[in-house]
A and B are shown apart, each in its own frame.
Chain A
Amino acid sequence: MQAHASSPVGFAPLLACLGLLALWEAAARIVGISGLPPAYDALRELPLILSDAEALLNIAASLRRMLLGFVLALLFAIPAGLCMGRSARVAAFFNPLLMIIYPVPKAALMPIIMLWLGIGDASKTIVISLGVSLPVIYHSYQGARGVEEKLIWSAAAMGMQKSARLWRIVLPAALPQIFVGIRTGLVLALITMVTSEMIARQTGVGSILFNALDMAQYASVYAMIVIVGVLGFVLDLCIEMLRAKLVQWAEPAHEIAVGTS
Chain B
Amino acid sequence: MILIEGLTKSFEPSRRQRHLALGDLSLSVGEGEFVSILGPSGCGKSTLLYVVGGFVPPSQGQVLVNGKVVTGPGPDRGPVFQEFALFPWKTVLGNVMYGLVEQGVAKPRAEQKARALIALVHLEGYEDFYPKQLSGGMKQRVAIARTLAYEPKILLMDEPFGALDAHTRTGLQRELLEIWERDRKTVLFVTHSVEEAVFLSDRVIVLTRSPGRLKASIAIDLPRPRRRAELLVDPRYQTLVVEIERLMDTQG
In this assembly, does A247 line the interface, its C-beta being within 8 Å of a C-beta of chain B?
A: yes
Contact of B85 among A151, A160, A256, A261 (CB under 8 A): A151
Output the least CB separation between A253 and chain B (Å).
5
Output the least CB separation between B144 and chain A (Å).
12
In this assembly, does B183 line the interface, its C-beta being within 8 Å of a C-beta of chain A?
A: no
Q: Specify the chain A residue showing the minimal Cβ separation from B81.
A: A150
Report the contact-size class of chain B (Cβ under 8 Å from the partner): 35 or more
Output the least CB separation between B163 and chain A (Å).
12
Q: How far is the CA of A172 from the CA of B78 in the complex (A)?
A: 22
A173 contact set on B, CB distance < 8 A: 87-89
Q: Specify the chain A residue showing the minimal Cβ separation from B90.
A: A249
Q: How far is the CA of A169 from the CA of B77 in the complex (A)?
A: 20
In this assembly, does B60 line the interface, its C-beta being within 8 Å of a C-beta of chain A?
A: no
In this assembly, does A15 line the interface, its C-beta being within 8 Å of a C-beta of chain B?
A: no
Binary interface profile of B, 98-110, with partner A (CB < 8 Å = 1, else 0)?
1100110000000
Q: How far is the CA of A153 from the CA of B143 in the complex (A)?
A: 13
In this assembly, does B13 line the interface, its C-beta being within 8 Å of a C-beta of chain A?
A: no
Output the least CB separation between A8 and chain B (Å).
28
Is A153 within 8 A of B79, CB to CB? yes
In this assembly, does A75 line the interface, its C-beta being within 8 Å of a C-beta of chain B?
A: no
Chain B residues 29 to 84 lying within 8 A of chain A, measured CB to CB, are: 50, 53-55, 72-75, 77-79, 81, 83
Binary interface profile of A, 129-158, with partner B (CB < 8 Å = 1, else 0)?
000000000000000000010110111111
Q: How far is the CA of A155 from the CA of B89 in the complex (A)?
A: 14
Is B79 within 8 A of A157, CB to CB? yes
Is B103 within 8 A of A159, CB to CB? yes
In this assembly, does A175 line the interface, its C-beta being within 8 Å of a C-beta of chain B?
A: yes
Is A257 within 8 A of B168, CB to CB? no
Q: Specify the chain A residue showing the minimal Cβ separation from B99.
A: A158
Contact of A257 among B133, B137, B165 (CB under 8 A): B133
A157-B79, A159-B74, A256-B133 given; A247·B53 CB < 8 A = no
Q: Specify the chain B residue showing the minimal Cβ separation from A251.
A: B132
In this assembly, does B235 line the interface, its C-beta being within 8 Å of a C-beta of chain A?
A: no
Q: Specify the chain A residue showing the minimal Cβ separation from B168.
A: A261
Chain A residues 209 to 252 lying within 8 A of chain B, measured CB to CB, are: 247, 249-252
Output the least CB separation between B115 and chain A (Å).
18
Is B135 within 8 A of A159, CB to CB? no
Is A249 within 8 A of B102, CB to CB? no
Is A249 within 8 A of B132, CB to CB? yes
A6 contact set on B, CB distance < 8 A: none
Q: Specify the chain A residue showing the minimal Cβ separation from B76.
A: A157
In this assembly, does A260 line the interface, its C-beta being within 8 Å of a C-beta of chain B?
A: yes
Q: Specify the chain A residue showing the minimal Cβ separation from B98.
A: A158
In this assembly, does B138 line the interface, its C-beta being within 8 Å of a C-beta of chain A?
A: yes
Is A153 within 8 A of B85, CB to CB? yes
A154-B81, A158-B98 given; A249·B75 CB < 8 A = no
A253 contact set on B, CB distance < 8 A: 132-133
In this assembly, does A104 line the interface, its C-beta being within 8 Å of a C-beta of chain B?
A: no
Is B53 within 8 A of A159, CB to CB? no
Is B88 within 8 A of A249, CB to CB? yes
Q: Which residues of B come within 8 Å of A, CB atoms? A: 50, 53-55, 72-75, 77-79, 81, 83, 85, 87-90, 98-99, 102-103, 126, 129-138, 146-147, 150, 152, 164-165, 167-168, 171-172
17 new A-B pairs (CB below 8 Å) besides A154-B81, A159-B99? A150-B83, A151-B85, A151-B87, A153-B55, A156-B54, A156-B72, A157-B78, A157-B79, A157-B147, A173-B88, A173-B89, A249-B88, A250-B88, A250-B89, A251-B132, A256-B133, A261-B167
- Listed from nearest, the 9 A-B pairs whose CB atoms lie closest are A261-B137, A158-B99, A261-B168, A150-B85, A156-B73, A158-B102, A249-B130, A172-B89, A157-B73
Q: Report 28 cross-chain contacts, Cβ distance below 8 Å, ordered by A residue.
A: A150-B83, A151-B87, A153-B81, A154-B79, A157-B73, A157-B75, A157-B99, A157-B152, A158-B150, A159-B74, A159-B102, A159-B150, A160-B102, A249-B88, A249-B90, A249-B132, A250-B88, A252-B132, A256-B129, A256-B133, A257-B133, A258-B133, A258-B135, A258-B138, A260-B135, A261-B164, A261-B165, A261-B172
